[in-house]
Structure 1
Amino acid sequence: MRRSCEAAEEPERSGQTTPDPALRHHRLDDDSFAMLCSTGESLPATHALLDAEYSRRLLLLRVLVDEVSARPAAVGALASAREAWDLLARAQRRSPQTVHRLLMDPQTGLWAAHTLRRLRGSEDGDAPLWSDVGQLHALAAAGAVLAGVGCRIIVPARDGAVLLPCLGEAQLAAAEPWGVAEVSAQGGTARIRDLRDGGSGVDVPTDATRDAPGWSGTRRLSLSHRGLTLNLTVDDQARYPVIAGTTGPDRLDEAQLRHWHSALDRAWTQLVEDHRESAEALAAGLFSLVPLPTGERFRPRSASASEAFGCVTLSAPDARLADDEVTVELAVTLVHEFRHTLLNGLMHLTPLADESSDLFHAPWRDDPRPLTGVLHGAFAFSGVARFWRARSARDSGSARERARFEFALWRRESRATLETLRTHPALTPTGRRLVLALLADIRSWDADPVPETSLLLAEQAAAHQRAAWRAHHVSPDETTVRAATDSWLRGTRPPLVVAEEGGSVVTDPAGCRLDAFAHLVRLRIADPHAFAAARDGGPLPNGVTPADVAYVVGDRTRAAALYAEETQRPASWGGLGLLLGHPALAQRPELLRAVSLAVNRSSGQTPPPAELAGWLARAWDGDGSSTGAHKGSGSMSQSARCSQSMA
């Protein structure tokens, strides 16, 4: 359950979500708020957030219409924003539920927020401003068509394509990059035509989800099990990205759509059977899925966004893997991203933290995270831990072994992160209440029986990821590094300042796929043959080295020797710190790496990692005897010294 490094910046985790002052009258009642401050998902809390989000969408649209009306040039050759608004209002009077669905569509939220930012000059766009503004006209046209209201309105076209929200897309013959087209509706029929080509156009099918000549309908799936139904749009026509800066999805062919349907149907069945409360909340609040290409095994790409309540973007299930593995991965990812949606909804109502420049280690991410980002992750992964807790009690065989490992890992990591956040001064009272409630839930699981093997693997995986993260992203104090380097070169004992905490977080873009240990544990459990091949010199997963494999196998001597041969890779210093260092030094592999690099710059020689680690450890032991000294860098090879030290 990790993000690949290609998805390092996801909107809902990259910064603050600002509460809307106009929504201050919307408050969750105590019961709904208490249910939201939980590792589980509840239907009443979801409904309360949905009500607030609908009010917010209405406010966003009203503000957008007012701002565009004050700048008539913003609509270009289109009708005024108020005319589009009036048409949408007519559709609402005819069919309130139709317009409600349109306004709650995640693409509506993303479009409205993007266009408002453009109007206010805080964001650029590839399209002319009038084309983005004109999606209001397309929204009104879609409302009229769906509600059976007669209309004739000009809407924007991109490369000849006209997208009507919640209906589909028409492809006209003309392919001008930024053009216009007319939508006309009457008596239950609708037609879209280019005004410049003599009136030819595209007829919208009565069942708009069905493809027709020139028309690509919006894909909808209905998943039902034991009386609970999830109606989901597979939005392969999304124009406004969930992950900022990415391109839109490719249209799925029928085989791909069937594959998605089959995988989602299995995942939904599992959620309804074994995670009923979560499934009830998802059925109410999950609206659309934006498909991505298949990702790496155990590393699905997924994201949600604060302006896209009810949407998840997700990598396609891997058809090469066993159904059971695909099903549980898809189910837990849906729960994970839906929890981000819930927290985004809460953060639209009330602040959880004040501004803070602090950056944090987030065990589920490769990169350092801001306060709200790590709070988001802690909220989501506490729910992930709860999901695997349930699976530990229900699954059998290798699936149960996987569930126990995941539960042990995410219980540990969520708890540790929440303990870090608990006393942070930037948390608001609401934010602190949320953190303490999540902690109480997780602490209540302390008595859950988990095999010692699973606990040990979780402890090792957590330590390995944290060490690799620190080696990449933590820069030790320069004065400390310089003092240690000078002492090493003089052959004296390490300065006591080495044992003092210090340093700063500096994001290293190369810090990717730092979950190598956990990834290999998952592979060994789920696919012993693939793990054996990796162990015996075969293909390795991305971001994994032979040293990582040796560590997971339990061959610490070989792992240390291999890590010592690849010290150009920062993450390898994390492994070395764990294998060679004093327990305190194992928490600070960045110091071991920094001193090694500084010695090399000063002397042209690279100190043997094992010897350097043993020498630095004297600073924590407080041993001032001559045994803390060494004889200089010497000429023995690094690998030979490492082997001698590990013997």
Structure 2
Amino acid sequence: MSVLELQPLAHLTDEFRLSMRRLLQDLGRELQADYPDLSSRLKLPVGFFQLLGRSLKVETYSNWKVVGWIETLNDLVYFLDILQQWASEQDRREFTEQLFAECQEKFFENSYLADLFPLGRQRTTGLEQRLTSLCHRLAQELTQESLFFNPALTVNWCRQRKLPRWDVPGLLEANFERAEEWGVVSVGIAGEWCEAPNEVRRALTQSSGHVTFQVDGSGISVKIGRVASLLWTGWGTQGEWRWNRQTAVTALETARGPVMVGPTLVYGKDRQPRTVVRTEQKRVGRFSRAWRTIQQAWPEGHAVLALLTSRIVPFKAKGVVSFSYRHRPGLSFINCFDRDNLDLIDDLIHENSHHHLNLLLRKYVMYHGDHNQQIFYSPWRRSLRPLRGILHATFTFTMGAMLFERLSVWASGKSGATRWKRAGLTQRDLQRARYRCLEEVESVRYSLQDLHYADHHLGWLTGSGRRMIGQLAEAIEQVERSITPHRKAVLASTFGPALRRHVKELRKARMTYGPVRLGKV
């Protein structure tokens, strides 16, 4: 079976949606049965969360925003369990050490480790307070976001419970993970938002972004001190936004639905996000052209791209590579300021490959028993990485090699040069694509040897992992056969020294690190 076979991936997506719906149902029952006191102290509207879950259509359970919300709720339940265990724990020092190690492995994409262990090491003193603060923050974020998935449902729930008013504390600060601007309320699940009017924005500067959402039987208002502003008003299942509502920009339409482009993240010199601004139309145009190039040059790859990527967030930062989150499937953060047209094509496929592998990993256990040891040399990071990192890199860069090989073929032939130029690519880009393909073939082959060793000598790969590695090996072999005729020309080009140097570095790394150097488990 090909690693790009579409039907199994579409089936996995359907399974994933059902699993997320079940997870939300299970979390609701768990909060009611196991953590009623903590839920009450945190003012978690568990009943409303359950109602919201029942109201969502099945297909929305793979949406980046819905999945992120459910995953955050899952994280909260995990920390509530930790908090409950802490109360009866006898050896709190050992408990802290175990929690620190678990957070390092489990939450490498989140800020939770820094929230609980701000000094970067185990520290028992003050841990209960930090845990409690984290739970309060997550509960507030979850409740605020839940209000606006379907405001009519929120208002009707309040009315049916005969609540005169439901006050929910919130924040209208910039959210970099969701690329939301300061002073806006994110609404729906398509990345839309409502802008606070000037009076509210002035009040926000005085309150440091803190607000109270007031829900009653007729609508939702925002209260900041003496300033009150009606945000949404409704009747029955209908209603209207009273703040200025903005819709996400559609880059293009696919058979799977629209591909949206969100606001732009702007980073500071310290390579940390500083603000969120509107995305210029010319950036949207670049994404559209890159997407169409993939569609024309590599239809199989495009089919997977259209299935798994639904929203793109541009960002402006020097030296920061594109990225994505496991808990935000379909959402890709792409650096389109510090990258050229070929890089943009590559980045779209690279981040989609992470979505692809994350989907597979939700279904299949591919490795076990590695204890997160950083023992494998990564040709891409030029440092030692755990098995998880090597698996992700090998998968995504195999996809990159396949992309560059397809681009090379697409640019060849009678009309290849014309197609290439229309895509905004140069002859140097073509030579670079072939160089990148050869470079990735060398790197992937290096890591496939380590993965083979992890399987056959260490016993760390499962049957599912072994099958996937076999598919990657088959794919890279086909790429190598196709790109080899261009090797001589690349070696004779300005990219030749870099390719020779890369091969030499890999040979040196193999001699230095061997298959692996095991540490103490």
TM over 0.5, shorter chain: yes
Pair 75,169 (structure 1): closer, same or farther in 2 beyond 3 Å: farther
- How far did 1:311 drift? 2.0
- How far did 1:342 drift? 1.4
2:250 partner amino acid:
L
Aligned to 2:80: 119
1:402, 1:85 → 2: CA distance?
51
- State the secondary structure of the residue aligned to 2:149: helix
- How far did 1:228 drift? 7.3
- How far did 1:99 drift? 5.1
2:45 partner amino acid:
A
2:379, 2:222 → 1: CA distance?
52
Aligned to 2:307: 284
Pair 72,130 (structure 1): closer, same or farther in 2 beyond 3 Å: farther
Kindly indicate whether residue 318 of structure 2 is the aligned counterpart of residue 304 of structure 1: no
The 8 Å contact of residues 251 and 258 in structure 2, kept in 1 or not, is answered as yes
- How far did 1:214 drift? 5.8
Aligned to 1:536: none
1:148, 1:371 → 2: CA distance?
44
Aligned to 2:392: 376
The 8 Å contact of residues 317 and 335 in structure 2, kept in 1 or not, is answered as yes
1:63, 1:228 → 2: CA distance?
29
- State the secondary structure of the residue aligned to 2:226: coil
Q: Deviations over 1:44-83 (max 9, x none)?
A: 2332232232233224433443444343454567754322
Aligned to 1:464: 501
- State the secondary structure of the residue aligned to 2:396: helix
2:276 partner amino acid:
R
Q: Deviations over 1:332-373 (max 9, x none)?
A: 211111111111121122221112225212222243211121
The 8 Å contact of residues 54 and 104 in structure 1, kept in 2 or not, is answered as no
1:343, 1:502 → 2: CA distance?
24
The 8 Å contact of residues 262 and 312 in structure 2, kept in 1 or not, is answered as yes
Mapping of residues 74-473 of structure 1, within 5 Å: 74-75=38-39, 80-89=44-53, 91-92=55-56, 96=57, 100=61, 105=66, 107-108=68-69, 111-121=72-82, 123=112, 125=115, 128-145=134-151, 150-152=156-158, 153-158=166-171, 162-164=185-187, 166=189, 167-168=192-193, 171=196, 172=200, 173-174=203-204, 175=207, 180-183=212-215, 191-194=220-223, 197=226, 199-203=228-232, 217=246, 219-224=248-253, 230-234=258-262, 250-253=275-278, 256-296=279-319, 301-318=321-338, 325-326=340-341, 328-356=342-370, 357-395=373-411, 396=417, 397-424=427-454, 425=458, 426-448=460-482, 449-455=485-491, 461=498, 464-465=501-502
- For structure 1, the residue ranges without an aligned partner over 5 or more in a row are 1-33, 206-211, 239-244, 478-500, 507-647
The 8 Å contact of residues 294 and 302 in structure 2, kept in 1 or not, is answered as yes
The 8 Å contact of residues 79 and 154 in structure 1, kept in 2 or not, is answered as no
1:194, 1:352 → 2: CA distance?
49
2:256, 2:479 → 1: CA distance?
29
The 8 Å contact of residues 408 and 434 in structure 2, kept in 1 or not, is answered as yes
- State the secondary structure of the residue aligned to 1:194: strand
- How far did 1:411 drift? 1.6
The 8 Å contact of residues 91 and 149 in structure 1, kept in 2 or not, is answered as no
The 8 Å contact of residues 25 and 53 in structure 2, kept in 1 or not, is answered as no
2:277 partner amino acid:
L
The 8 Å contact of residues 264 and 314 in structure 2, kept in 1 or not, is answered as yes
- How far did 1:281 drift? 1.9
2:59, 2:466 → 1: CA distance?
39
Q: Deviations over 1:500-548 (max 9, x none)?
A: x799699xxxxxxxxxxxxxxxxxxxxxxxxxxxxxxxxxxxxxxxxxx
The 8 Å contact of residues 57 and 104 in structure 1, kept in 2 or not, is answered as no
The 8 Å contact of residues 106 and 311 in structure 1, kept in 2 or not, is answered as no
Alignment RMSD: 4.1
- State the secondary structure of the residue aligned to 2:443: helix
1:290, 1:340 → 2: CA distance?
16
The 8 Å contact of residues 78 and 154 in structure 1, kept in 2 or not, is answered as no
Q: Deviations over 1:193-212 (max 9, x none)?
A: 2285364343489xxxxxx9
- State the secondary structure of the residue aligned to 1:307: coil
Greater shift in the superposed pair: 169-178 or 380-389: 169-178
Q: Deviations over 1:553-587 (max 9, x none)?
A: xxxxxxxxxxxxxxxxxxxxxxxxxxxxxxxxxxx
Aligned to 1:65: 28
- State the secondary structure of the residue aligned to 1:200: strand
- State the secondary structure of the residue aligned to 1:435: helix
Question: Larger relative CO (CA 8 A, sep 6+): 1 or 2?
Answer: 1
Greater shift in the superposed pair: 96-105 or 277-286: 96-105
1:115, 1:305 → 2: CA distance?
18
The 8 Å contact of residues 204 and 215 in structure 1, kept in 2 or not, is answered as no
Identity, in percent, stands at 18
2:392 partner amino acid:
H
Q: Deviations over 1:275-325 (max 9, x none)?
A: 2222222222213334322334xxx6122232222222222334xx7xxx4
1:434 partner amino acid:
M
- State the secondary structure of the residue aligned to 1:351: coil
- How far did 1:257 drift? 3.2
Pair 147,469 (structure 1): closer, same or farther in 2 beyond 3 Å: farther
1:147, 1:273 → 2: CA distance?
43
The 8 Å contact of residues 63 and 330 in structure 2, kept in 1 or not, is answered as no
The 8 Å contact of residues 271 and 279 in structure 1, kept in 2 or not, is answered as yes
2:397, 2:507 → 1: CA distance?
21
Aligned length: 416
- State the secondary structure of the residue aligned to 1:361: strand
1:168 partner amino acid:
W
The 8 Å contact of residues 450 and 515 in structure 2, kept in 1 or not, is answered as no
Pair 344,177 (structure 1): closer, same or farther in 2 beyond 3 Å: same
1:392, 1:234 → 2: CA distance?
31
- For structure 2, the residue ranges without an aligned partner over 5 or more in a row are 83-98, 100-111, 116-129, 159-165, 174-182, 235-240, 412-416, 418-426
Pair 176,410 (structure 1): closer, same or farther in 2 beyond 3 Å: closer
- How far did 1:136 drift? 3.6
